[in-house]
């Protein structure tokens, strides 16, 4: 696997791998201090996908129930890799692929990946692109895709942010998606009031917090989906995105907190989710990580 380094004018550094288009190191300006991301060795990345450290997941981020969905009256069966479900695109998802470099500038990197028709059971040939743009204290992640036949798509960057033990999390959402024993969301959503999922005020999270849930953040366009702050309050990362939901996962044995801006989990099986991409359309997702 090949590693690419980006540098901002002020000295920030971002290291990206072609394997899984994974972000492996993020050091805001002046480029010194601890890595804000949980990293994996090349051997660990090649051995297994879990825990998806820093990769781009697809074709569909999160879970698809029973590894199947119906599109335009046709049922499609997917490769399953978590119980009876398809997680993050399947056992050979985009996180397992070697992405091709399209452009590499000092502070910008563009990679793409072509997923053929029938890949992991998904219809249509999908061409996916990820663009990383590094600022002194920011990383912009732009995900796009086009298809030659109707399909479903939700690409997501899957960073594990590392701000030390027991960081404080804020998610400005009034509703979340309750899940069953397999992590699949129930129909509809529920209010966070008087539940452990009310994260509108700062609350510490640990590996034992049991979070592997999606929140529906109100509004459209770029807006704050989550803020993660170190326990001592000296460092924080704000995640803004134009995506409708944010998945937070705290149970990784590698540590850190995964904050994933994405379309809703099991979207292909939810009548209220806009997840279909058709020929001539452009799928686009914009997310920013901002350090302060």
pLDDT band of 106, cuts 50, 70, 90:
very high
Q: How high is the pLDDT of residue 68?
A: 98
Q: How high is the pLDDT of residue 267?
A: 97
Q: Looking at the 3D structure of the chain, how many domains does it have?
A: 1
pLDDT in tens, 39-98: 888 888 888 756 899 999 999 999 999 999 999 999 999 999 999 999 999 999 999 999
pLDDT band of 163, cuts 50, 70, 90:
very high
Q: How high is the pLDDT of residue 49?
A: 56
Q: How high is the pLDDT of residue 253?
A: 85
Those residues whose C-beta lies under 8 Å from the C-beta of residue 136, and which sit 6 or more positions away, are: 8, 9, 10, 11, 12, 28, 29
Question: To the nearest whole number, what is the mean pLDDT of the chain?
Answer: 96
Query: In the predicted model, what is the mean pLDDT of residues 255-282?
Result: 96
Which has more confidence, 46 or 170? 170
Query: In the predicted model, what is the mean pLDDT of residues 140-151?
Result: 98
Q: How high is the pLDDT of residue 46?
A: 86
Q: Is the pLDDT of residue 111 over 90?
A: yes
Pick the closest to residue 141 from 131, 151, 154, 149 (CA basis): 131
Q: Are 287 and 162 in contact (CB under 8 A)?
A: no
The CATH number given to whatever domain includes residue 125 is 2.70.98.10
Domain ranges, residue 214: 3-291
Q: How high is the pLDDT of residue 272?
A: 85
Q: What does DSSP say about strands 156-157 and 151-152: parallel, antiparallel, or unpaired? A: unpaired
Question: Is residue 67 helix, strand or coil?
Answer: helix
Which has more confidence, 212 or 272? 212
Q: Is the pLDDT of residue 229 over 80?
A: yes
Pick the closest to residue 184 from 64, 52, 57 (CA basis): 64
Q: How high is the pLDDT of residue 50?
A: 60
Q: Is the pLDDT of residue 264 over 70?
A: yes
- 0.85 surpassed by pTM: yes
pLDDT in tens, 186-216: 999 999 999 999 999 999 999 999 999 999 9
């Amino acid at each position: 696997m090949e590693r690419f380094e980006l540098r901002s004018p002020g000295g920030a550094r971002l290291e990206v791998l072609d394997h899984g288009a994974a972000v492996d190191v993020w050091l805001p300006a002046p480029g010194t201090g601890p890595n804000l991301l949980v990293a994996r060795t090349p051997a660990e990345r090649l051995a297994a996908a879990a825990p998806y450290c820093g990769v781009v997941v697809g074709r569909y981020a999160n879970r698809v129930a029973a590894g199947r969905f119906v599109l335009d009256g046709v049922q499609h069966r997917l490769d399953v890799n978590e119980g009876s479900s398809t997680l993050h695109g399947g056992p050979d998802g985009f996180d397992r692929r070697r992405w091709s470099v399209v452009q590499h500038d000092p502070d910008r990197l563009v990679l793409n990946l072509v997923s053929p028709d029938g890949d992991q059971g998904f219809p249509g040939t999908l061409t996916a692109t990820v663009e990383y743009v590094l600022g002194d204290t920011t990383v912009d992640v732009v995900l796009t895709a086009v298809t030659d036949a109707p399909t479903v798509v939700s690409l997501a960057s899957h960073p594990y942010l590392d701000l030390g033990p027991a960081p404080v999390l804020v998610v400005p959402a009034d509703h979340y998606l309750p899940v069953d024993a397999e992590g699949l969301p129930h129909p509809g959503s529920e209010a966070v009031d008087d539940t452990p999922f009310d994260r509108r005020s700062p609350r510490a999270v640990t590996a034992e917090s049991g979070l592997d849930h999606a929140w529906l953040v109100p509004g459209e366009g770029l807006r704050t989906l989550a803020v993660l702050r170190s326990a001592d309050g000296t460092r924080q990362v704000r995640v803004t995105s134009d995506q409708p939901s944010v998945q937070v996962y705290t149970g990784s044995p590698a540590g850190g907190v995964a904050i994933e801006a994405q379309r809703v989990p099991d979207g292909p099986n939810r009548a209220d989710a806009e997840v279909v991409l058709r020929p001539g359309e452009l799928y686009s997702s914009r997310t920013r990580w901002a350090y302060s």
